[in-house]
Structure 1
Amino acid sequence: MKLKGIIFTIISATLFGCAPAIIQKIYYYGATPETTTFFRNLFAIPITFIIILFQKGHLKQFYVTKKQLFSIAIISCGGLACATLTLVSAYPFIGTSMATTLHFLYPVFVALICFLFFKEKLGKFKVIALILSFIGILFFFEKGDNSNHIYLGIFLSVISGLANAFYIVGLDKFNLREIPSMVLTFFISLFAAIGSLLFGLCTNRIHIALPHQAYFFMFLNSVLIAFVAIALLQIGIKYLNATMAAMLSLFEPVTSNVIGVLFMNEDMTFKKMIGSIIILASAMVIILLDHSKAETQNKQIC
């Protein structure tokens, strides 16, 4: 059973890591980051709706309180939609591998948000992980004619990690985990689609007149990420545990780096490789410390 969980989790992380390559194909056919973010969430809405009806057979499953609905709207627009938009916006500036690695600062940001706003203790090892993660970012800075583009890409990638951390903390602190996962996915996709649409219309960056190939890849991206990858991750967590699954999820940036270098002609210098290792090591330290804390609390309860 444990081996099955490991396999499912690694496949899930690999699919997540392949997503940037699909998004680059979407860009090739003329879509913008805003268009990509909007349709990724839009396509997820009817599919989740149909799955919920097949599972439960009635509309009562969609009931959530007004407070929960407001909380979902906040984390969907300010968290998930923002994280997706800034991450995919960073790809043209610094490449998919570098952007995905910087996005994986989010476990560090989760610890920082919980410390600043919820008075949770950091501990010396988490402080060290925080310092190391920011040192890792410095390895990505370069001087040259396109340095401004690199700085913008780094900024967008870091913001994507911060927004994803806000999304994760919001799920926990707003008590949204009690909502069935598929119902929660439906409402998150709904509000993320609305938020990204409004932003795209305000910036005039939503492009509808696209070739059918663009819509095919946007639909493929939505299905692979919103359903297959997430479903496999949930199965992996069931057979393993959240911590082990989180550690195996670090295969995502590894996959993204391999695909970026081998198939997309992205540059991976020794300096960037060291920065990537430092950032991913910092994320792993945070994950392991959170697991250790949870085990200690469980022993105290027993």
Structure 2
Amino acid sequence: LHFLYPIGVTLIMRLVFGQRTSPYTILAIVLALSGVALLSLKGDVGMGSSPLAFALVLLSGFSYAIYLVAINNVQLLRAMDNLKLTLYSLLFGGIYFLVDTLLSGGLQPLPSTAALGNLLLLALVPTLISNLCLVRAIKSIGSTLTSVLGAMEPLTAIVIGVLVLGEQVTPVMLTGVLLIVSAVTIIVLSPLLDSNIAERLRRFARRSPQP
């Protein structure tokens, strides 16, 4: 349900900022969400979830949608250096998780140096680097297109699971992969298919976001 955030981004951009939504973008969103659902759902997922858990997951997706939109449409954030913006984002996120950790049992010691190495890699690659890339992408191609490309996240997890962990590929998973790849292909080709998207990307390029 968290990956419904491309819908949230599209609705916010349409209702708040009046951005025209291309039919190609809508098609890409439908394909991406369908692919994510096929990769994520296991038949019984969600059947026993509480209403509170359901609401919290939806709130997570909507909050992320607001974050994606704000980066490119709030002038203070738009003009801020990418590294500084990422620093503030991770700082406030870290404070929240620290408070939650202390309230739910406290910090646990790391069992080994290998665990410390894994933790450092987790902090560097999928946290710091990915957030820097996210901010740069939003300022370069906009919130809507970036949100659709975010569907590559579960696809990447599946690919790593198959190649590194030896997980089996099922027909349902393969269908999900094909749907997500199709969505990403549409987004990549959208400037050639829709002149409004091409013009929007040219405006972003003229803004010259900071590296």
Q: TM-score, normalised by structure 1?
A: 0.47
Question: Which of 43, 48, 68 does residue 168 from structure 1 map onto?
Answer: 68
Residue type at the aligned position of 1:114: M
Asked if the contact 2:86–2:131 (Cα under 8 Å) also holds between the matched residues in 1, the reply is: no
Query: What is the rounded CA distance, in whole Å, between the counterparts of 2:65 and 2:14 in structure 1?
Result: 13
**C-alpha deviation, 1:255, in angstroms:** 4.2
1:148 matched to 2:45: yes
- Residue 277 of structure 1: aligned partner: 178
Query: What is the rounded CA distance, in whole Å, between the counterparts of 2:57 and 2:183 in structure 1?
Result: 16
- RMSD across aligned C-alpha pairs, in angstroms? 4.2
Q: How does 1:25-64 map to 2 (within 5 A)?
A: none
Query: What is the rounded CA distance, in whole Å, between the counterparts of 2:100 and 2:20 in structure 1?
Result: 36
- Residue 62 of structure 1: aligned partner: none
- Measured at CA, do residues 199 and 120 of structure 1 come closer, stay the same or move farther in structure 2, by a change above 3 Å? farther
1:122 matched to 2:21: yes
- Measured at CA, do residues 253 and 137 of structure 1 come closer, stay the same or move farther in structure 2, by a change above 3 Å? closer
- Residue 112 of structure 1: aligned partner: 11
SS state of the match for residue 210, structure 1? coil
**C-alpha deviation, 1:225, in angstroms:** 3.7
- Measured at CA, do residues 194 and 160 of structure 1 come closer, stay the same or move farther in structure 2, by a change above 3 Å? same
Which runs of 5 or more structure 1 residues have no equivalent in the other structure? 1-101
Which portions of structure 1, spanning 4 or more consecutive aligned residues, are displaced by more than 4 angstroms?
Answer: 102-109, 149-152, 155-163, 226-231, 246-255
Q: TM-score, normalised by structure 2?
A: 0.62
- Measured at CA, do residues 287 and 167 of structure 1 come closer, stay the same or move farther in structure 2, by a change above 3 Å? farther
CA-to-partner distance for each residue in 1:107-161, whole Å, 9 max, x for gaps? 5543233224433222333333333344335535444xxx237986xx7988765
- Measured at CA, do residues 117 and 230 of structure 1 come closer, stay the same or move farther in structure 2, by a change above 3 Å? closer
- Measured at CA, do residues 266 and 207 of structure 1 come closer, stay the same or move farther in structure 2, by a change above 3 Å? farther
**C-alpha deviation, 1:188, in angstroms:** 1.5
- Residue 207 of structure 1: aligned partner: 107
Count, aligned residues: 186
- Residue 118 of structure 2: aligned partner: 217
SS state of the match for residue 148, structure 1? coil
- Measured at CA, do residues 115 and 288 of structure 1 come closer, stay the same or move farther in structure 2, by a change above 3 Å? farther
